A and B are shown apart, each in its own frame.
Chain A
Amino acid sequence: MRLFRLILANLARRKLRTALTALSIMVAFVLFGYLAAIRRALDQGVSVAGADRLLTRQKVSITQPLPESYKARIARLAGVRKVTHLTWFGGIYQDPKNFFGQMAVVPEEFLELFPEYLLADEAREAWLRTRNGAIVGRRTANRFGWKVGDRIPLQATVWRKKGGELLWEFEIVGIYDGASKATDDTNFYFRYDYFDESREFGRGLVGWYSVRVHDPNEAAAVAERIDSEFANSPHETKTETEGAFLRGWARQIGDITTIMVAILSAVFFTILLVAGNTMAQSVRERINELGLLKALGFTDRQVLGLVLAESCVLAGVGGSAGLAVAGVLISAGDPTRGALPIFYFPSETVTVGVVLMLGLGFAAGILPALQAMRLEVAEALRR
């Protein structure tokens, strides 16, 4: 405890210098926390993807449809517990900038396969009753101020109604929440039966299938079974786990992890120099004093520990403040105003952050600490 007060007293010796160093460390950790959230957002919840869910899409491209009749054929295959289909609508709400996902689904099957979307029972009943009913995620509902009962016009980009009409109108019957903060609650889901009978062309064609397997360990085998079922048909399929699909999708943007690591390495290298320089200066100024401590009976190791601890406390204070600021910034919303469906502070970031702080503190303090440890008492006192 007394040692701790000594550490604080040493840090307080040059308050401005300590503050500036802590602030630059803080900035590094703000960036670290913020980039972690962005990376998670771009990964689009790979970590929470249903481990027991497969995604079956047209082999050549997910933009090509599959026949609705595949549903019964997939359901019959061994290892398949439940199957449903989703179809991308891609409509425009008022302005193309107001982007959010819109999909035609079969309500009962959809809600059963995706338990991470929490919908009240009344809303569920209402959806089953209302042909042009739709449910929307909390985030999108808040973004546009929608309430249950609102009628939402969507301008079709592909799917014209019979007679060439582009405007579709849906009634919001429920607003769903995500089961966890990593759940994407931006999408808009409406009924496939209404969609299919109203569209001008493409009847009986769906976007992709979502398949729940009995045993996640058998996912690969089931995926292969599905693809071989449709091999050499006019619509061949490609099936993979939801996680693999999302990861592949994230990689379409580029190798995000590499870019983030590159940026953060540059940042931390820079901060390391700043903090290391501060510690070196501080030890240089105190050679006299450190010699005195040794003369009083402090061991070499204790002096080493003292300097290292000082450096780690500095990094810890700056780093914690940085993570806290990052947390505040992240909760203020994503920088693209809605283009990132998931944006939150991943909790494992804190653990990694603490490790980084200690690492930074150690790396910045080790050379000055060794220098302090090796001081000869007589030599030091003479300066």
Chain B
Amino acid sequence: MMGIRNWLGQAASVSKLGLETIWERKGASATAVVGIAGVVAVAVATLSIAQGFRRTMTAGGDPALALVLRSGADTEMMSFLWLPDTRVIADAPGVARSELGPLASPELFVVINLPKRDTGTDANVPLRGVWPVAFQVNQAIEICAGRNFQPGRNEAIVGIGAVREFAGLELGQSIQAGHTQWTIVGHFRARGSLAESEIWTDATLLQNAYHRGNTFQSVWVRLERPEAFDQFKVALLSDPRLNVKVLRQTEYFADQSATVYNLVNGLGRLIALLMGLGAVFGAWNTMHSAVAARTREIATLRALGFGAGPVVVAVLVEALCLGLAGGVLGGLVAYGAFNGYRAATINWQSFSQVAFAFTVTPSLLVEGIAYATGIALLGGLFPALRAARLPVATALREL
């Protein structure tokens, strides 16, 4: 019976021997490392699209904000509220107040066509009509170039995400919506949130341009405090004058991002799985030839009294190192090439474009490296078992 310390000592010395000779097998080892790195890079890059999209959709989620839509509507796009409805909503308990009155902002939401910069084809860009109170309800909005639009004038401000993705949104340019031209007078940031993909303008003028009469699509509300949400919701749902649904902003954004997030994430994982399978075969091949090249050496060790366990451990340790190297390399490539890469896609729920940046999160990197070591260990498993089972006498006679 071999003592634990002895066993560990053997494993360590065989591993050391294996690792020291990696350089002599640099071609095969590099293949395994690059193969695994390729898998990790593609997987992390693809998943970073899903992460970035979700981050944009949920960024700046403010627990004190609530959204009121007509019941049955899932998005602002489909919703519809009359002016008197919006007044009832503004007077509900739990709504914060300022010198402008209740912090409840009735808004219009339409989409307009603008050419995407990268493809030159038309895309649906959201256009939001608001009253001045909107800037006190959504406190994330911050003008970063030009100035805010003036109520009563055909002026608009544009989120910086939209400015980057679509042509024709520079200061001084104008866009058409309804039958009216709107001059761009400012650009704004919104803490990286969804609003940065939008164009904002005066609600009353937008109503006229779209022949909407005195109707709105949604009401955004700032609550006195986040806990007031339940009270506010109950009050609206039990009011016989209204037929609405009430959501927290965070909840609404999470719902909105679900389809695209799940699609991209699912696709990314599918690709990662398939590529991972390919890399397992690659790593297996590499470790197999590593073991084959050292058949004599391993047999000698066994003949000297080294156990089968330490030999298995040594092969797996070598595989693990290759996997770690591949994982780190792939993660770095994905981070360097794609983190912050800007893109825009359509959000099916609101039928409009969302500008976002690929986001390689630390947890994605960790996941990628873990995946890499998993691939390598799986690839190293059979060669390790083979090494352990080598019949000593035949192996020594080989070569």
Contacts and interface: CB of A to CB of B under 8 A. Distances in A.
Contact of B281 (A23, A247, A281): A23
A335 B265 CA distance: 12
Given A59-B113, A60-B112, A267-B42, A248 B122 contact: yes
Contacts of B278: 23-24, 27-28, 267, 270-271, 274
A31 B345 contact: no
A64 B209 CA distance: 12
Interface of A: 16-17, 20-21, 23-24, 27-28, 30-31, 34-35, 38, 59-64, 90, 96, 155, 157-158, 166, 234, 236, 238, 247-248, 251-255, 263, 266-267, 269-271, 273-274, 276-278, 280-281, 335-336, 339
A23 B288 CA distance: 15
Interface string B60-95: 000000000000111001101000000000000000
A20 B31 CA distance: 14
Contacts of B31: 273-274, 276-277
B35 A90 contact: no
Nearest to B28: A277
Interface of B: 27-28, 30-31, 34-35, 38-39, 41-42, 46, 72-74, 77-78, 80, 110-113, 116, 118-119, 121-124, 176-179, 210, 259, 263, 266-267, 270-271, 274-275, 277-279, 281-282, 284-286, 288-289, 343-346, 351, 353
Name, among A20, A62, A255, A270, the residue most crowded by chain B CB atoms within 10 Å (CB to CB).
A270
B123 to A, nearest CB: 5
Contacts of A90: 78
B176 A27 contact: no
A30 B274 CA distance: 8
A90 B72 CA distance: 12
A251 B120 CA distance: 9
Given A31-B271, A31-B275, A336-B263, A273 B285 contact: no
B38 A24 contact: no
A270 B285 contact: no
A339 B263 contact: yes
Contact of B119 (A27, A251, A267, A270): A251
A60 B210 CA distance: 11
A16 B288 contact: yes
B284 A20 contact: yes
Given A238-B113, A277-B28, A251 B281 contact: no
Contacts, number: 136
A278 B346 CA distance: 44
A274 B35 contact: yes
B27 A27 contact: no
A17 B282 contact: no
A335 B266 contact: yes
28 contacts: A21-B285, A24-B285, A27-B278, A31-B274, A31-B275, A59-B176, A60-B113, A64-B210, A157-B72, A236-B179, A238-B113, A247-B121, A248-B121, A248-B123, A253-B346, A254-B344, A254-B345, A255-B119, A263-B42, A266-B42, A267-B42, A270-B35, A270-B38, A270-B282, A276-B31, A277-B27, A335-B267, A339-B263
Contacts of A59: 113, 176
Contacts of A271: 278
Nearest to A96: B74
Contacts of B42: 263, 266-267
A266 B37 CA distance: 10
Contact of B72 (A17, A30, A166, A269): A166
A315 to B, nearest CB: 14
B288 A20 contact: yes
B19 to A, nearest CB: 20
A329 B267 CA distance: 14
B332 to A, nearest CB: 14
A273 B281 CA distance: 13
Contacts of A155: 72
Contacts of B274: 27, 30-31, 34
Contacts of B35: 24, 270, 273-274
